[in-house]
A and B are shown apart, each in its own frame.
Chain A
Amino acid sequence: MSVFLAVLWKDLLAEWRSRERVVAMLLFSLLVVLVFHFSLPEGATRRQAEQAPGLLWVAYLFAALLGLNRAFALELENDALSGLALAPADRGFVFLGKAAANFVIFFGVEVAIAAVFGLVFDLDLAPAAAGLAGLLALGTLGICTVGTLFAAVAVRTRFREVMLPLLILPLLIPVLAASVRATTSLLAGGGLPWDALQLLLVTDGIYLVVSFLGFEYVLDE
């Protein structure tokens, strides 16, 4: 438990001092919104609000890939990854610390992106804010589980920036599908659909367990 808190604190503090990832992810997502505007049929970004949930989650996924690619960048220097591997606890707790730090950072960025989407697509997010926040949390949890695990893997392969999306995008299809569907229903005023929520919860649970256990074998001595 203390290892979990120590890793979480270390990552948040490092991020707070450099603000590298938050700035990069925010700028990148805003650029994605700009790209959407010029690649969709005319007026799509203003009138066709039904496209917004899908685009929103695409922006989240891309921003998360960007953030995850840098999640172990600090540890790579000075061989700090071996230091993490020697933490006096189950390595699963190191994973939980890293994943929780990613979760906090990504969640903050996502809330800001959602606000921008609300403005650009002329969506009134206020009535659905609580549901949307819960949904964001569940979707981000799914991304952070396998995302953090395979970021630790990809960072020690050749072509690491390419390897990470190839590894995690096919695994994240359930998270994406369920999140987009639930967001669509929520923004249309239909509340949270139970079937999508169920898939999201089950996926999060399975990926959390697999990542917690798998992290043990991903770090070297």
Chain B
Amino acid sequence: MTAHAPAVSASRALPASGLLLGGLFAVYAVLVVTAPIDFRQGVVQKILYVHVPCAFSAYLGFLVTAVAGALFLWRSDPRLDRVALAGAEVGVVFCTLVLVSGPIWAKATWGEWWAEWDPRLTVSLIQWFVYVAYLLLRAFAEGSERAARFAAVYGIAGVCAIPLNYFAIELFGGGRAAHPANLGRGSLGEGFGWPFLAGVATSFAAFLHLLLLRIDLETRRNAREEGAEALEAH
């Protein structure tokens, strides 16, 4: 029953996750404001504290969708489907933030908004299309049980496409682009590490809070529909 726990207790966990998010955000805001200003890039470097944590949360959302979708196909529990839906929606929100913040940084640093189809940004764009299609599929499929099955299969295919698309971009235009390298331990300069870590923690807290909020909303919506049906049948 552990897999069902988050769906059952979504509304009960909301105050706690909201408090966690509020507290972390306060710490994060202070750390980002007081962090040293990068001597080469200037203040625009601070986008790092938004862009990268959002990317982590976006891919976490896509992963949640695939795992919850696979479990739904196995157990046919509608609560798991609500988790999958919430993962995709919250993932798309974070992915949009990644796609907005990335070009702003690129314009300031490289002088181009969409600099040479940077590989990582392009993969995020493709995945954004995948999960927007996922949400459209849910909206356009007739019958909620069928929509859930269709979406679960598509969510699994979508997560398989992430590494494949990454290799495709590498094959096609990799090497030219100059996306900052993966952050290794201590590769950030003195004073940059803590605000970044706080950013990651805040982003995950925001992810959790939004996910629970969305699951709770969907649970209530379902309960209302079932209630209305029961009333009609009466």
Q: Which of A59-67, A81-89, A101-109, A201-209 forms part of the interface with chain B? A: A201-209
The smallest beta-carbon distance between B118 and chain A, in angstroms, is 15
- A interface majority secondary structure: helix
Q: Are B130 and A199 in contact (CB under 8 A)?
A: no
Q: Are B154 and A199 in contact (CB under 8 A)?
A: no
**With an 8 A cutoff between CB atoms, is B156 at the interface?**
yes
**With an 8 A cutoff between CB atoms, is B142 at the interface?**
yes
Q: Which residue of B lies closest to A198 (CB)?
A: B167
Residues on the A chain within 8 Å of B133, using CB: 163, 166-167, 170
Interface residues of B in 133-148 (CB under 8 A from A): 133, 136-137, 140-142, 146
The smallest beta-carbon distance between B117 and chain A, in angstroms, is 12
Q: Are B172 and A170 in contact (CB under 8 A)?
A: no
**With an 8 A cutoff between CB atoms, is B11 at the interface?**
no
Q: Are B137 and A157 in contact (CB under 8 A)?
A: yes
Mask for A183-221, Cβ within 8 A of B = 1, else 0? 000000000000110010011001100110010011010
Q: Are A214 and B156 in contact (CB under 8 A)?
A: yes
Residues on the A chain within 8 Å of B150, using CB: 153, 157, 218
Q: Which residue of B lies closest to A150 (CB)?
A: B154
- Tally of contact residues, B, Cβ under 8 A: 30
Q: Are A170 and B129 in contact (CB under 8 A)?
A: yes
Residues on the B chain within 8 Å of A159, using CB: 140
Q: Are B164 and A203 in contact (CB under 8 A)?
A: yes
Q: Are A157 and B168 in contact (CB under 8 A)?
A: no
**With an 8 A cutoff between CB atoms, is B126 at the interface?**
yes
Residues of B within 8 A of A (CB): 73, 126-127, 129-130, 132-133, 136-137, 140-142, 146, 149-150, 152-154, 156-158, 160-161, 164-165, 167-169, 171-172
14 contacts between A and B (CB under 8 A): A149-B157, A153-B154, A157-B150, A158-B140, A163-B137, A166-B133, A166-B136, A170-B126, A173-B126, A174-B164, A176-B168, A199-B164, A207-B157, A218-B150
Given contacts A163-B140, A174-B164, 16 further A-B contacts (CB under 8 A): A163-B136, A166-B136, A167-B154, A170-B127, A170-B133, A170-B161, A171-B130, A171-B158, A173-B165, A177-B168, A177-B172, A199-B164, A203-B164, A206-B164, A211-B157, A217-B149
